[in-house]
Chain A
């Protein structure tokens, strides 16, 4: 377990119901969900050297089914922490915890996900503070990547 620093970047998986094809994102995509201790992210620099490697590795390791409407949203740790602190007076941390190789509930074998990161300090889901914090984070998104590799064009 290690705290990420201000220069680190993280990727957040966003379902197609919470993002448009033009890249608008609902703040709910970054809120702590009901029954969740902290929202999950992946530490971008732990996934590879180039952006292509990083996105490809996350697609490989990600444990939920990815669809063509899903995206990975890139955020800078320092910008998000500072924005939440300045805007909401909310102290939060991104902690790299990593996930080991393990068996999923339906018998699926999950590969290790050393980039797995939790965003601690987010307000409880369903509260006004949670909604505001989600919107503040959504305003900090730097880039978006297709979560599912696009089908290759036939040659």
Chain B
């Protein structure tokens, strides 16, 4: 497979092209870690199970042309996994869904995930790549503020939204269909609004609303 990066097309969440300078910046930010001599899988699967035209181990990637259009692949390579996720025009996710995570947010998130993976490697701590994928999928599909990210001792990723005054809403990505939330809401004369339990990724924003913390989490 030959590298065809010149054909890459990067789009924002409304489907518009990024200026070429921005695209260059995005590529440089996103393809971050290239350990000497490291190899990864050739070809990768997207969430719908289709094979993308990529050769990660050699750091080549080529747009995958199909009826859906041209793909732009964004990802990273670390000791724990080959690829984080992809998005672009022709995204095969269920129709009607929009990809919300903008390139700057994505770059910040990937930087943090990379740092967490490196730290886990140094500590010989677990890093659950399925949890990471679930987190990224959630961030892609929901209009949320960029959360603080942590790696828990279980190896799962946790996102936290907080505000002064002790308001905290955290979500642990368990890697399956469910996530675990902990909510420290407002304190009133009648007591403290608190919650902890399991929900689905699509239930997170509804829960934040229920705990009167939607503005903390969501971009309205």
Interface flag for A91 (CB, 8 Å): no
Which of B112, B120, B153, B197 has most A Cβ within 10 Å? B153
Contact: A27 with B162, CB < 8 Å? no
Report whether A20 and B149 are in contact in the complex, using a CB–CB cutoff of 8 Å: yes
- A20 nearest CB neighbor, chain B only: B148
Interface of B is mostly: strand
B150 interfacial contact with A, CB 8 Å: yes
**Smallest distance from the beta carbon of B10 to chain A beta carbons, Å?**
27
Contact with B along A75-91 (1 / 0, CB 8 A): 00000000000110000
Q: Categorize the interface residue count of chain A.
A: 20 to 34
Query: Is A24's CB under 8 angstroms from B119's CB?
Result: no
Q: How many A-B residue pairs have CB under 8 A?
A: 64
- Assess whether A139 is interfacial by the CB under 8 Å rule: yes
B167 → chain A closest CB, angstroms: 8
A131 touches B116 (CB 8 A): no
Interface centre among A18, A86, A131, A135 (most CB of B within 10 A): A135
Whether the Cβ atoms of A28 and B160 lie closer than 8 Å is: no
Q: Looking at the complex, which one of B122, B149, B153, B182 makes contact with A132 (CB distance below 8 Å)?
A: B182
B115 lies within 8 A of A135 (CB): no
Contacting pair B150 A18 (CB below 8 A): yes
Listed in ascending order, the chain A residues whose CB lies under 8 Å from chain B are 15-20, 22, 24, 26-28, 33-34, 67, 69, 86-87, 128, 131-132, 135-136, 138-139
